[in-house]
Each structure stands twice: as structure tokens, then as C-alpha cells.
Amino acid sequence: MALALFTDLYELTMMCAYLDNGRKERASFELFTRVLPEKRNYLIYAGLEDVVKYLEEFRFTKDDVDYLHSLKLFPDWFLDFLKEFKFTGNLYSMKEGTPFFPHEPVLRLEAPIYEAQLFETAILNMTHISTLVASKAARVYSVSRGKILSDFSLRRTHGKDAGMKAARSTYIAGFSSTSNVLAGKVYGIPVVGTVAHSFIMSFETEEKAFRAYLKTFPDRAVLLVDTYDTVKGVEKAIEVAKDLLKGGYTLKGVRLDSGDILTLSRLTREMLDKNGFRETKIIVSGGVDEYKVDELLSKGAPVDIFGVGTKVGTSSDSPFVDFVYKLVELGEKPVMKTSSGKKMYPGRKQVYRFDGFDKVTLFEEKSSGLPLLEPIFISGERVKKLPSLSEIKEYFLEEFTKLPEEIKNIYEKRIYRVEISDRLKALYEKTKEEIEEKEWM
């Protein structure tokens, strides 16, 4: 899908008005949040790969220009200009998988103002969904105590792209696998699956359904045991597993999808162990989120694998975050928006990570700590190879481990320390005064 028109109309009308008024100064836009959702102490940045591909391939097709022409809105010189247009700017970004906090730019795009503005909508759209799901998934990971997490969200994510991004973002944020086969093919994520209730129901008896499935997948099968009565389901699973053993295969697992999971998982574990099936895993699915995982594991539920679906794939308790893409510098001049009581800092910035806190500085300031923003494009040319998905995951795991434990609290609001450098504070005050003067002009 050609994505040049995947934007709000006003990005194009502004582009046209900028050009028409001879406005071609360099502008810097930064992507950040001013505030975290109530139930988030951190966000996990993701979606850069999509943005990089978008910028690299950005072209208006002939069809696109014909469509714009049909709107009878734009002058011909502008449509001609679009035909040759491509991304020529600089892009700085944090690495995908980085935990970040309010007022920290995760990305900065620098280009002539008519160009830098144009990409706003698409960059917001692409980073928003990936960040949203990675952030929710990290919360589940933070309470998973080494248990395996698998993405089962595909059926209720918001459309096809979200389904793909949910698999990718959960994998970055500590999940091990996905049920989404296309995500397996496209991203190389391990794919997993069991059976559905409809399969069990479609056979005359539960036992026949189990035997049928094991006939086809003797070495890979996980049996769904709660279609009728879970305890009887486990009994039958054990019976068929004994026969399976004769063929040299051990039953891989049983899945519980409903009922009192704490009690049922204990009972199931006991029954499996008593019959010698200590290797058979217990998989739990159905309404799983960080609260359910934490509750079950804190009470010692013997669950080996969680299938995590809708609540993570839609980030249902925070289905959006306040991601914004704001003008911070124009020409050489730092700028900011002051209205509506939402504070932001002017100027091109860098974020330095220290042990347990961050510092936001002017980009050109020197500081100790690890700088998080790095160049990806310079003058439209890629200067950085992006990491593989496994590398992103590794990086997330390292960075997430370093986060203070209290910030990972899933129940209570905790504030991570983000310092603003003295020079940036001074610039904020200065810019604020200038704007107050400007309002009277």
C-alpha cells in the first residue's frame, strides 16, 4: 500500500501554504508524551522500523497526485512538486525497546518545515500502536516470574496492521511466541497453537477429539481440557497420554481457558504429576492480563505458559497514549506551544540515561550518562542499520532489568525521576517570555 496519502489533509494543505509563502526553513519536530496514562509508570518505545520504511519509500504515486488533483484544492505547481518529492531530512530516534517517560523525545525529525510537518500523522500512527502494546506487554512480563508468555490477541486487535504489530511488540517486550502465523512468517517469531472448543465439540466424545488430534500431532499437541468438565477433561487427557507414551511421545501440555484457574491448575498439576506426566505443561488463556498473571503466580498457581490476548493486544485499560509530534525548533530558534496548560520544552533535545534516572538536555549539551537518541537518517540517507527483532528484544530485556523495581509496580503510580538540565530550564523560561510578548502583537 502506497502510504503518501496516509495522512491528515491538513498536513498537505499546510505543506502547500508553507511553500506558497516561501517558507523553507529547517524545522525540528519531536515525538514525546506530556503525561503518562493513569495505569502506566513507563512506556516502551516501539514502531521505529515501520517509520524508517515509510520514510525510505515515501513517494507520491501518479494515482496519488491524480486523486489530489481531483479535489480541486491544490494548485498545479504544488502537484508537480509532489511528483518529485522525497524525504531529505534527518531522523534521530531512541532504539525500539527503550523504556521512556514524559518530556523525553523518542524521535526527532529535522527537515524543511513543509516536509517535516508532512510526516506527522503517519509517524504518530505507526509509533502509537507499537508503543501502546509493547508498554502493556512489558507490564505482563514484569510479573511473569520466568513463566512463558504467548501472544493470542490476533482476533480482537484493531485490524490487520494492529494484529501484526501486537505480535511484534509483545515479542519485543518479553513474550516468547505468537499464535499469529503471518507474524511468524514476516517477523520470524515462533508460532504456537493448541485447539479450539469447536474442535472438541465436533467429535462424538471429548476422548475421541483428543485421540484424533494426537493422531495428527503426537509430538506437538496441547489438549484443551475445559470444553465440558475440566477435571474429567484432565482425566481423559491423562488416559490418552498414557497410550501416547506407548508410541514414545509425551503429552506436551493441557490448556485451561475458563473457570477458577487457581484451583483447576493445582488440581491439574496434581493429577498430571501423580500419573507421571511431570513434563506436561499447563497453559492458561482467557482474559489474561498483568493482574491475572500476578494474582495466579503470587498464589503459587502451577501455570507454565500464559496465552495473552485481547487486553494486551488492544491495551484495553489505556487504549491510547498522549503521543504528540511538536515543533521544537524553527531555523535556529527554539519554539514550543504553551496553550491549553500542557507544558512542553522547546529546542532540540537529548536524553541521557543514568542508573535509575534520566536527564533531558539540549541536544548540543555535553553530559555523562548514556545518550538515548541516535541518528538514523542524515540528509535523507540512512546512517544506521536497524537491529534485528531478536536484538531489539535483547536490548529491551537489558534495559528493562535496569529500571528501578518500584517503577514496575503494576498497581500503583510511581514516578521515575526525569531531570531537566539547567540550560533547558533556562531556555524554557526565555521562550515562555517571548511567547507572552508575541501574543500581544
In the region spanning residues 169 to 198, those forming contacts with its own copies, defined by CB under 8 A, are 179-182, 184-185, 191-198
If one asks whether residue 435 binds its own copies (CB under 8 A), the answer comes out as yes
The answer to whether residues 154 and 179 touch, using CB atoms and an 8 Å cutoff, is yes
Taking CB under 8 A as the binding criterion, the range among 38-46, 93-101, 240-248, 325-333 that sits at the site for its own copies is: 325-333
List b or e across 233-251, with b for residues whose CB sees 16 or more CB atoms inside 10 angstroms.
bbebbbebbeebeeeebeb
Instruction: In whole angstroms, give the CA distance from residue 258 to residue 136.
Output: 23
Cα-Cα-Cα-Cα dihedral sign, residues 24, 25, 29, 34: negative
Q: Site residues for its own copies, window 223-262 (CB under 8 A)?
A: 226-229, 232, 257-259
Q: Which is nearer to its own copies, 223 or 392 (CB)?
A: 223
Q: Site residues for its own copies, window 343-372 (CB under 8 A)?
A: none
Coil vs helix vs strand at 48: helix
Q: Site residues for its own copies, window 17-36 (CB under 8 A)?
A: 17-18, 20-21, 23, 27, 29
Q: Which is nearer to its own copies, 259 or 371 (CB)?
A: 259
Q: Which is nearer to its own copies, 132 or 372 (CB)?
A: 132
What phi-psi label fits residue 36: left (phi over 0), alpha (psi between -120 and 50 degrees) or beta?
beta
Instruction: In whole angstroms, give the CA distance from residue 102 to residue 125.
Output: 18
The answer to whether residues 345 and 324 touch, using CB atoms and an 8 Å cutoff, is no
Instruction: In whole angstroms, give the CA distance from residue 313 to residue 162.
Output: 8
| Alpha-helical runs (H) found in 288-421 | 290-298, 310-313, 389-402
CB of 173 to its own copies, least distance (A): 16
Q: Which of 90, 98, 131, 315 binds its own copies (CB under 8 A)?
A: 315
If one asks whether residue 5 binds its own copies (CB under 8 A), the answer comes out as yes
CB of 357 to its own copies, least distance (A): 29
CA angle 340, 341, 347 (to 5 degrees): 100
If one asks whether residue 121 binds its own copies (CB under 8 A), the answer comes out as yes
CA angle 379, 55, 6 (to 5 degrees): 140
Residue type, 315: S
Q: Which of 94, 327, 360, 376 binds its own copies (CB under 8 A)?
A: 327
Please work out the total of residues on this chain that contact its own copies, with binding judged by CB under 8 A: 104
Q: Which is nearer to its own copies, 229 or 391 (CB)?
A: 229
Q: Site residues for its own copies, window 68-97 (CB under 8 A)?
A: 68, 71, 73, 75
If one asks whether residue 98 binds its own copies (CB under 8 A), the answer comes out as no
Q: Which is nearer to its own copies, 232 or 343 (CB)?
A: 232
CB of 229 to its own copies, least distance (A): 6
The answer to whether residues 361 and 352 touch, using CB atoms and an 8 Å cutoff, is yes
C-alpha cell, 441: 502583537
Helix H or strand E encompassing 89: none
Q: Site residues for its own copies, window 129-168 (CB under 8 A)?
A: 129, 132, 152, 154-165
When computed from its CA atoms, the radius of gyration of the chain, rounded to whole angstroms, is 26
CB of 148 to its own copies, least distance (A): 15
CB of 92 to its own copies, least distance (A): 18
Taking CB under 8 A as the binding criterion, the range among 237-245, 288-296, 331-339, 383-391 that sits at the site for its own copies is: 331-339
C-alpha cell, 384: 544506521
Q: Which of 320, 413, 423, 426 binds its own copies (CB under 8 A)?
A: 320
Q: Which of 82, 149, 335, 392 binds its own copies (CB under 8 A)?
A: 335
